[in-house]
Structure 1
Amino acid sequence: MIRTATVHDVAEIHAMIRELAAYEKAAEQARATEEQLRAALFGEHPAASVLIAEDDTTGAVAGFALWFPRFSTWTGTRGMHLEDLYVRPHTRGAGHGRALLAALAAICRENGFERFEWVVLDWNEPAIAFYKSLGAELLEEWTVCRLTGGPLEELAALAPPVAHRAR
């Protein structure tokens, strides 16, 4: 079963984010707290949405998908960015990942989103094979860029004042 997450799922979402970070060999980078997730997902201006996969027989949480809208200047339309897709190892192979992605694709269709995009680590062969089996195109000519910490602060320090005009 796939359902929309509620504020009562925050602890479980937090636990799965930490499990995913450990799998991706980056546990130390997963610093988000439950309080931050609660505010980001269920506060006044939610930053993202989450779907939960539950095991049909036990009702236990099997996985989650966290996504948010994006915009393409090329198509002039909104799209979806999947930030995290995670299915717990002991529940893999039961169709939870496929069900989560299908539910997200349905959200795209319902909202007129023309693109559904995400990133995958180049060493994660099982995930890459799974995504290819669904018809996903791997855009190998694109490279993800990221600024954090000192470089982000240094660039921000160079910013000129930004004028805010009434719309």
Structure 2
Amino acid sequence: MSRHPGFSLRDARPRDAETVLRLVTALAEYENLGNEVKATAQDFYGALAGKKVKGLIAEADGEPIGFCLWYDTFSTFTGRGGLWIEDVFVAPEHRRLGIGRAFFQEVAKRAVADGHARVEWNVLDWNAPAIAFYRRIGAVGQDEWTDQRLTGEALHALAAEG
């Protein structure tokens, strides 16, 4: 798809499910969240095959070294779609080659081509290197918003009400 000095990017395909799982697990370990990974390769296969999620794989010498996964969103304020980047990860030994920038640039190109109003994502507040990178590419933190999550027992309890 696109070649860069030292690496290439290509679209993630359903058959990349095992690779995606391996890279997601590496990301979770980096974020000290390894015990939270419950996904299986089959989950990623289904999500990619069903186009619930889209993605890119970065490769160096034919070896997967990073990934970026995103999905469509919609903004009622803009009346237009957007893209939510769920995760981005580059193996530590391959950082500083421009892979992260290439991921975000490719997603931005696709967002613009599809008429989307924005691209959004989360970052852990302790991840200073990532936050600094995001500022360098022009991203602005949304400090006035806080993420909320409904999961597990609370999700099931609410769903079961009346």
TM-score band by shorter chain is over 0.9
TM-score where L is the length of structure 2: 0.92
Backbone CA RMSD of aligned residues:
1.0
Structure 1 segment 1-167 matched on structure 2, within 5 A? 1-42=8-49, 45-55=50-60, 58-159=61-162
1:8: how far off?
Answer: 2.6
Q: Percent identity?
A: 41
Post-superposition CA distance 1:89-141 (Å, at most 9, x none)? 11001111110110000000110011100000000001000000101000011
Looking at structure 1, the residues matched to 156 and 132 of structure 2 have their Cα atoms a distance apart, in angstroms, of: 38
* Structure 2: tracts of 5 or more residues without a match: 1-7
* Structure 1: tracts of 5 or more residues without a match: 160-167
Larger Rg: 1
**8 A contact 2:15–2:45 mirrored in 1:** no
**8 A contact 1:53–1:62 mirrored in 2:** yes
Higher-strand-fraction structure: 2
**8 A contact 1:49–1:66 mirrored in 2:** yes
Q: Which amino acid aligns with 1:104?
A: V
Looking at structure 1, the residues matched to 14 and 155 of structure 2 have their Cα atoms a distance apart, in angstroms, of: 32
Give runs of ≥4 in structure 1 deviating > 3 Å. none
Looking at structure 2, the residues matched to 102 and 11 of structure 1 have their Cα atoms a distance apart, in angstroms, of: 25
Looking at structure 2, the residues matched to 155 and 61 of structure 1 have their Cα atoms a distance apart, in angstroms, of: 40
